[in-house]
Chains A and B, each alone.
Chain A
Amino acid sequence: MRFFARSCLVAFMIFVTLAACDNGAEGSRKKGYAAVEELKSERIGVLLGSTHDRYAASHFPQAQIFQYKSPSDMVVAVKSGKVDAAIYSSAELEELMRQQQDIGIIGKSLYSTMLAMGFHKGDDELRTSFNRFLASTRQNGVYDDMSTRWMKTGNHEMPVIPESKPASGTLVVGMVHDMGFPFITVQNNRLVGFNVEMLDRFGVYAGKKIEYVSLDFGSLIAALESRKIDMIGSVISITPERAKSVDFSDPYYEEQAKVFALNKNIAGASSDNDKKSRGNFLTRFLSGTAESFQSNIIQENRWRLILSGLWVTVVISFLSTLFGTVLGGAVCFFRMSNNVLFQSLARSYISVMRGTPVLVVLMLIFYVVFASVNIEPVIVAVFAFGMNFAAYVAEIYRAGIEGIDRGQREAGIAMGFSRAETFRHIILPQTVMRILPVYKGEFISLVKMTSIVGYIAVQDLTKASDIIRSRTFDAFFPIIMVAVLYYLISWTLLLLIGYLEKTINPRIRRRTVPQQA
């Protein structure tokens, strides 16, 4: 039976992979756009919260606008035909087209924006320091050298930046790590790109150690305002709206907003679709998988990224389970106490925690509760997941304890055990035995829940796959790989709890106790 279930699972996964590999080859019907205006009532992809987002909303009111959280998601959406076209920035597009031959640009640029670094309102010292630095690079030719290397030639090597003096203090810079070349991306497991080089140089110039924090684009300004970061180093363009909450430096780059689509949908562009390797389905699948494996795991030692993400996921899962289990015990104690105040406190804690999405709690703790405290995001994650877990397990404990008939408790007390001793020796062992199956399920859902920690700048397993996706633009292989890894984590942990269950279940334990008398 188990074997059958496993086989089904494997078959399902293979099916999904096959379907995935074949995707894109299907694509959508040819459109043949020649100008931007033709997109008026089509499906358009944009980056959530970007200037493109607002532009699309005001200029293409009839179009369906799809907002993506990362450039890689957007590119994959274009490639798989989920949207007909997308708006993106010129520098990134040039780089993208160097790697992906099947996309092209429609028409002329829509408008141009100025990129700048963002600072706290009123933090003029740091801002002017950066402006002076920027001006100096423009004068001594460093800026030209950088822009030639990153933007024009597509050279992805980070140069060695000579350090002049030892760093004093750190500067926390928030950025979207998987923004993509040429500005910011992860290569060989380290951050590289135009912005990274510039900020590294600025660090040397200002005598500070630069510490990069990975954030979502939408969280950048929130993180700055809550002083989680000292400056925004990500690719962010100056808008009057943003200028209300952020002080911008002098612009360091001018970007054009452009529309791109698959070549086959662009009038006059040569489509390389026909060049796709032929051969039968199986060989295509095998070579496709091998290629994906090569690019997503082997290249640039990306398995290291996966491994460290895996470790973070395991650590967060383990610690929040531990914390949640203990906290849940305390909540359950209050919930079951005779004191009305304690009881209602616990009751409201449980209802609030169960009634709000854990993601909201996570962001609330990170951006509001610990707004002005420099706290390790992993700890925040452990707090948030643990608190959520506690609310659920508190009720599980209560059900387990109340399920034990009152008589056994009375028997314990009548024998001369104190209330606490009765609980420890008689109620607790039976409760644990009863609740483990339910607890197990709750635990597994916690492990999977941790996949949202990317929101508060933690690079877990899911985030690692996002980063890989942002480089390879391969939607399917990383996602399936991560699914398999999550399954393996859950499965291993289940085995462990199952073992625990066996050791405390008297029926099974008895077989190991020698018969006496």
Chain B
Amino acid sequence: MIRIEHLSKNFGNLSVLRDISAEIEKGEVISIIGPSGSGKSTFLRCVNLLDRPTSGKISINGVNILDRHTDVARVRQKMNMVFQAFNLFTHLTVLENLTLAPVKLLGRSRQEAERKGHDLLRLIGLGEKSMSYPDELSGGQKQRVAIARCLAMEPEIILFDEPTSALDPTMVSEVLSVIRRLAKEGLTMLIVTHEMDFARDVSTRVFYLDEGTIYEQGTPGEIFDNPCKEKTKAFIRRQQSLYQRLFSADFDLYSLNAEVESFCSRHLVPLKSRHDLTLLIEEVLQLYCASSSSFPIDITVNYSEKTGQLELLLESPPGSANPLELQGEDYALGLSIIGNLLQDRKFTHSENRNILKLYLKNP
């Protein structure tokens, strides 16, 4: 139904989309996820030519919409869009928002359009708001009206551009449930969203956009449970990382602590975990120094915003021992502190690296 070939889009010198190709069948619900700035919205806006692609080819139902002779307005009538900012027509009542396009574009009679409009408003649960003006509605109500306005044109495709991003958390679910309902009715939908649970739930396929292209795609199961590529994984776990390299035993502990501190506050790591992490780093590094491990040591802190899991990775050159296996009274206190902080630990030798993975207890 939608066929995209080698789509690219530049804004000036900035290349936003690079050589995207995709094919979307009738009735598919595609969720488009990815970090901000990865071009998700631009991709959607290229599909209905609100932004004109720099190069590539887009066909809708076999019609090349980039062809100069194509009546794009006519194609758009079958492919409507829901915006992040709702974009309701503020001078018209809710009902008039729904009837304007069918009357002017599809040549419906006013009566017929109004009857259909009332039906749609009842469907989205806003039957009694038909005579209200958009600024009298809450954000969630506005977005539901915007969806009904799309439906009034009886489209085959609906593009959702972050439909819940401008909403209060309390209103997100009312909009999502309306979209879920449409998905069941077999409309073809492309949804740019940050609601991962919703995307997993509603979509037939998920596009993960990164680096200006469809970095990975698959069923919700594939993308959310078993992502193959690194960036996808990090994104799905909403993982944040801090990396530092220590060159000798005389490293600047205070500067390292400051880095860790600012990383934690940037990503809203809970205060308890923050203290635990600095304590752990301090103790572990003391053991490293004591065990006369060789330097440099690479430290990576990973924090999953989704699960709240903090992990500490220490990579040292081959040959050095696992500092947690040091014996002796001098180390007993340090080891017991570390043991109390950890939930799990792993030490692996590989050819050129020794890797110690420490998982902090989740408070």
Q: Please give the residue numbers on chain A whose beta carbons come within 8 Å of chain B beta carbons, in ascending order.
A: 405, 407-408, 410-418, 421, 425-426, 429-430, 433, 506-507, 510, 513, 515-517
- Residues of chain B in range 84-99 having any CB-CB distance to chain A below 8 Å: 85-93, 95
Listed stretches B73-81, B169-177, B268-276; interface member: B73-81
Contact B81 A411 (CB under 8 A): yes
What is the chain B residue whose CB lies nearest that of A410? Answer: B50
21 pairs, A vs B, C-beta closer than 8 Å? A407-B85, A408-B89, A410-B83, A411-B83, A411-B87, A411-B88, A411-B146, A414-B48, A414-B81, A415-B101, A416-B77, A416-B78, A416-B105, A417-B101, A417-B104, A425-B100, A426-B89, A506-B91, A506-B93, A513-B131, A516-B95
Question: Given contacts A515-B131, A517-B127, A517-B128, are A416 and B91 in contact (CB under 8 A)?
Answer: no
Instruction: Report the separation of the CA atoms of residues A405 and B85 in the bound assembly, to the nearest whole angstrom.
Output: 10
Instruction: Report the separation of the CA atoms of residues A399 and B104 in the bound assembly, to the nearest whole angstrom.
Output: 27
What is the chain B residue whose CB lies nearest that of A421? Answer: B104
Contact A415 B128 (CB under 8 A): no
What is the chain B residue whose CB lies nearest that of A418? Answer: B73
Contact A430 B90 (CB under 8 A): yes
A-contact bits for B181-214, CB 8 A (1 contact / 0 none): 0000000000000000000000000000000000
Contact A416 B92 (CB under 8 A): no
CB distance from A500 to the nearest CB of B (A): 15
Instruction: Report the separation of the CA atoms of residues A430 and B135 in the bound assembly, to the nearest whole angstrom.
Output: 14
Instruction: Report the separation of the CA atoms of residues A515 and B95 in the bound assembly, to the nearest whole angstrom.
Output: 12
Instruction: Report the separation of the CA atoms of residues A430 and B95 in the bound assembly, to the nearest whole angstrom.
Output: 17
Additional A-B contact list (13), CB under 8 Å, known A410-B50, A516-B130: A408-B90, A410-B83, A411-B87, A411-B146, A414-B81, A415-B80, A416-B74, A416-B78, A416-B153, A417-B104, A425-B104, A506-B93, A516-B131
Contact A416 B73 (CB under 8 A): yes
List of B residues within 8 angstroms of A513 by Cβ: 131
CB distance from B94 to the nearest CB of A (A): 11
- B76 contacts which of A413, A426, A515, A517 (Cβ < 8 Å)? A413
Among B75, B89, B146, B159, max chain A CB count under 10 A is at: B89
List of B residues within 8 angstroms of A415 by Cβ: 76-77, 80-81, 101, 105, 149-150, 153
What is the chain A residue whose CB lies nearest that of B127? Answer: A517
Contact A416 B76 (CB under 8 A): yes
Instruction: Report the separation of the CA atoms of residues A417 and B105 in the bound assembly, to the nearest whole angstrom.
Output: 7
- Residues of chain B in range 255-312 having any CB-CB distance to chain A below 8 Å: none
List of A residues within 8 angstroms of B81 by Cβ: 411, 414-415
What is the chain B residue whose CB lies nearest that of A424? Answer: B104
State whether the Cβ of B40 lies closer than 8 Å to any Cβ in chain A. no
A-contact bits for B115-131, CB 8 A (1 contact / 0 none): 00010000000011011
- B50 contacts which of A414, A416, A516 (Cβ < 8 Å)? A414
Contact B92 A506 (CB under 8 A): yes
Contact B93 A510 (CB under 8 A): yes
Instruction: Report the separation of the CA atoms of residues A42 and B105 in the bound assembly, to the nearest whole angstrom.
Output: 79
Q: How many residues from B make CB contacts under 8 Å with A?
A: 37
Question: Given contacts A516-B130, A516-B131, A517-B128, are A414 and B76 in contact (CB under 8 A)?
Answer: yes
CB distance from B303 to the nearest CB of A (A): 36
List of A residues within 8 angstroms of B73 by Cβ: 413, 416-418
List of B residues within 8 angstroms of A408 by Cβ: 87-90
What is the chain B residue whose CB lies nearest that of A428? Answer: B91
CB distance from B333 to the nearest CB of A (A): 62
Instruction: Report the separation of the CA atoms of residues A412 and B104 in the bound assembly, to the nearest whole angstrom.
Output: 12
List of A residues within 8 angstroms of B89 by Cβ: 408, 411-412, 426, 430
List of B residues within 8 angstroms of A416 by Cβ: 73-78, 80, 101, 105, 153
State whether the Cβ of B331 lies closer than 8 Å to any Cβ in chain A. no
A-contact bits for B46-90, CB 8 A (1 contact / 0 none): 001010000000000000000000000111111011010111111
Question: Given contacts A411-B89, A413-B76, are A510 and B131 in contact (CB under 8 A)?
Answer: yes
What is the chain A residue whose CB lies nearest that of B132? Answer: A510
List of B residues within 8 angstroms of A414 by Cβ: 48, 50, 76, 80-81, 83, 159
List of A residues within 8 angstroms of B74 by Cβ: 416
List of B residues within 8 angstroms of A515 by Cβ: 131
CB distance from B110 to the nearest CB of A (A): 12
Contact A407 B105 (CB under 8 A): no
CB distance from A185 to the nearest CB of B (A): 57
Instruction: Report the separation of the CA atoms of residues A411 and B92 in the bound assembly, to the nearest whole angstrom.
Output: 14
CB distance from A421 to the nearest CB of B (A): 7
Instruction: Report the separation of the CA atoms of residues A429 and B153 in the bound assembly, to the nearest whole angstrom.
Output: 22
CB distance from B145 to the nearest CB of A (A): 12
Instruction: Report the separation of the CA atoms of residues A22 and B180 in the bound assembly, to the nearest whole angstrom.
Output: 84
- A429 contacts which of B77, B91, B118 (Cβ < 8 Å)? B91
List of B residues within 8 angstroms of A413 by Cβ: 50, 73, 76
CB distance from B107 to the nearest CB of A (A): 13
Question: Given contacts A417-B101, A517-B127, are A506 and B77 in contact (CB under 8 A)?
Answer: no
CB distance from A506 to the nearest CB of B (A): 6
List of B residues within 8 angstroms of A411 by Cβ: 81, 83, 87-89, 146
State whether the Cβ of B133 lies closer than 8 Å to any Cβ in chain A. yes
